[in-house]
Amino acid sequence: MLRFALALGLLSSPAMAQVATQSGTDGQNALGTVPCAAAAGAPLQSCNAELRRRDDGTATLAVLLPTGDVRNIYFTNGIPDSSSSASKLSYETLGDMMVIYVEPGEVFEIPKAALNTQ
């Protein structure tokens, strides 16, 4: 999980000057913040997050949205495949960053290194 800690420490969104932080890790799970937005057109802000990894290559990213809701994003081998929302999930990679979209307007920026399988 050291990769996640390092990736969170280095994550930034140049357009919004958001920086993810890492506040703790136990080698399997990591706590910190990630840039996110809860509504279409809303600026990115730092949102508390926890990455929970499992040995089978799956992971869950739980993000506390500015609205107070928690969005869980589920990954298999580093790829987001669903979320706790019934809405459509999509993603794109921009350099070393993965940007995840949950319709109609949620946005999450995650360093790809944090999601690499070990």
Mean pLDDT of 43-64: 94
Q: Which two tokens stand for residue 15?
A: 């357009």
Residue boundaries of the structural domains of the chain: 2-115
pLDDT digits (tens, 9 = 90+) for 20-33: 444 444 456 778 99
Q: Which two tokens stand for residue 46?
A: 């730092």
CB 63 within 8 A of CB 34: yes
pLDDT digits (tens, 9 = 90+) for 2-53: 333 334 433 333 333 334 444 444 456 778 999 999 999 999 999 999 999 9
Q: How far is CA 12 from CA 48, 53, 79, in A?
A: 15, 22, 20
